[in-house]
Amino acid sequence: MVANRMVKVLDLHEWRVVIVDRDESHLYQTGFLYLPFGIHTNAEIVRPKRKYLPSQAQFIFSEAERIVPEQNRVHLANKTVISYDYLVIATGSYIHPEETPGLMEGGWRKNIFDFYTLEGATKLGNFLKTWKGGRLVLNITEMPIKCPVAPVEFVFLADWFFRKRGMRDKVEIVFATPQSGMFTKSYIANVFAGMAEERGILVEPDFTIMEVDNAKQVIRSYDEREVAYDLLVTIPLHKGAEVIRYSGMGDLLSFVPADKFTLQSDKWENVWIIGDAGNIPAPKSGSVAHFMMKPFTENILSHMQGKELKARFDGHNNCVLDSGYNKAIMIDFNYEVEPLPGKFPVPVIGPFSLVKESLLNAWGKRIFYWVYWNILLEGGRIPLMSSHLSMAGKKIV
């Protein structure tokens, strides 16, 4: 998105845009959630990255080993050293199951799976094809994580999946979370809690995992609570990229400290973050990265021109949570405003309903697949959707 946007707004006689990436393939990470349930296939969520990169930009396929911000240089694994005037860090976040004692021991990828990686989601899907039932426990290790509603989606889709297969009575579903409920925002958390109760999904709140006991098949919290499982679906600890840690640019979890409004690094004025590479208190989701683009572009251009950074990212996040049964829930919120009921994007008309299950919302999620590949990656904007949160159509509760 950044590369596609910047080649359009910069004078390419004066500027050169260089993308460094270790992966030739681009993954539609939203699709990871659907792989275990057979809704998407691997072929549908993996495409060549070069197809979406602008021809005016230089693409270097290599691992970035170290950034030296004091020298404005990036050292690559292929021994290339790149000097930069501005650096945009889009290195993302990654799971670290090895940080939880016992998680990667006897049951790993046998009856313990993640779905935040292509391999994990694929292997979980293969496991579910022949699973006869038992106790399915989804556990969030620690926040922050990528797409914080995805675990909620998983258990709702699991309920639908097992009912469709005629074996819901053979499966007990437990949602174990370190949070006080299924989500951090109170109003939508209450909505999710009601849905979980209706669907017979048990919630184990304030559960901070200490270890996995493979012999007993339980996860154990720091307050000595135990939750037994037959199948454990884990959301492991997330950290930023290794290059951020090696370069000494990150916090304890290797996320880059940055101003949550301007997206500029706290320490280096020519370093910026986009997506989930920074430590800002917005969800680490694709829509957040999309909504960052306008204020990011305005601010970096202002800085290049020696002007004040006036654009503000308000933490806007818009998410469509697939709840199964051909229905979905849309939520729209930012740093200050929690998800509220109403209509979106046009007041009264909608057509999408906020904080309410609907068929139209589910169709919106299906359409997003096309929008993602054909508009968002190229730096385009979704019609009628502002980068800033709008209160139009929302009801204060």
In this prediction, residue 296 carries a pLDDT of: 97
Asked whether residue 52 is assigned to any structural domain, the reply reads no
Helix (H, G, I), strand (E, B) or coil at 54: coil
Q: Which of the four pLDDT bands, split at 50, 70 and 90, describes residue 186?
A: confident
The label of the residue with tokens 């007041």 reads 347
Same domain, 232 and 250: no
**Mean pLDDT value across residues 334-340:** 95
Beta bridge partners of 333: 317
Asked whether residue 51 is assigned to any structural domain, the reply reads no
Express each pLDDT in 196-214 by its tens digit.
999 999 999 999 999 999 9
Same domain, 115 and 204: yes
Two structure tokens written together for 315: 């933490």
Domain coverage including residue 213: 100-237
Same domain, 69 and 124: no
Q: Which of the four pLDDT bands, split at 50, 70 and 90, describes residue 92?
A: very high
What is the pTM for the complete model shown?
Answer: 0.95
In this prediction, residue 184 carries a pLDDT of: 83
In this prediction, residue 380 carries a pLDDT of: 85
Asked whether residue 389 is assigned to any structural domain, the reply reads no
Judge whether 354 and 188 are in contact, CB under 8 Å.
Answer: no
- Cβ-based neighbour number of residue 126 at 10 Å: 13
Domain count of the fold of the chain: 3
User: What letter does residue 216 receive in the DSSP assignment?
Assistant: T
Asked whether residue 32 is assigned to any structural domain, the reply reads no
Asked whether residue 48 is assigned to any structural domain, the reply reads no
**Mean pLDDT value across residues 245-258:** 97
Q: Which of 296, 318, 320 is nearest to 390 (CA)?
A: 318
In this model, does residue 328 exceed pLDDT 90?
A: yes
Same domain, 166 and 293: no
Same domain, 9 and 118: no
Two structure tokens written together for 46: 């993996």
Query: Domain boundary residue among 237, 260, 275?
Result: 237
Phi then psi dihedrals of residue 101, to 5 deg: -55, 130
Where residue 199 sits, what CATH number does that domain have? 3.50.50.60
Same domain, 329 and 254: no
* Whole-number Å distance between alpha carbons of 155 and 170: 15
Q: How far is CA 119 from the centre of its chain?
A: 17
Q: Which of the four pLDDT bands, split at 50, 70 and 90, describes residue 397?
A: confident
Asked whether residue 37 is assigned to any structural domain, the reply reads no
Q: What's the whole-number average pLDDT of the chain?
A: 95
Judge whether 187 and 339 are in contact, CB under 8 Å.
Answer: yes
Same domain, 136 and 204: yes
Please, what is the Cα angle at 284 between 282 and 286, to 5 degrees? 110
Express each pLDDT in 347-386 by its tens digit.
989 899 999 999 999 999 999 999 999 999 988 888 778 8
In this model, does residue 114 exceed pLDDT 90?
A: yes
Query: Domain boundary residue among 190, 217, 237?
Result: 237
Express each pLDDT in 34-76 by its tens digit.
999 999 999 999 999 999 999 999 999 999 999 999 999 999 9
Express each pLDDT in 17-39 by its tens digit.
999 999 999 999 999 999 999 99
In this prediction, residue 379 carries a pLDDT of: 84
- Sheet with 218-221, strands from edge to edge, namely 209-213, 218-221, 226-228
Same domain, 117 and 201: yes
Express each pLDDT in 254-301 by its tens digit.
999 999 999 999 999 999 999 999 999 999 999 999 999 999 999 999
Same domain, 225 and 300: no
Asked whether residue 285 is assigned to any structural domain, the reply reads yes
In this prediction, residue 262 carries a pLDDT of: 98
Same domain, 249 and 357: no
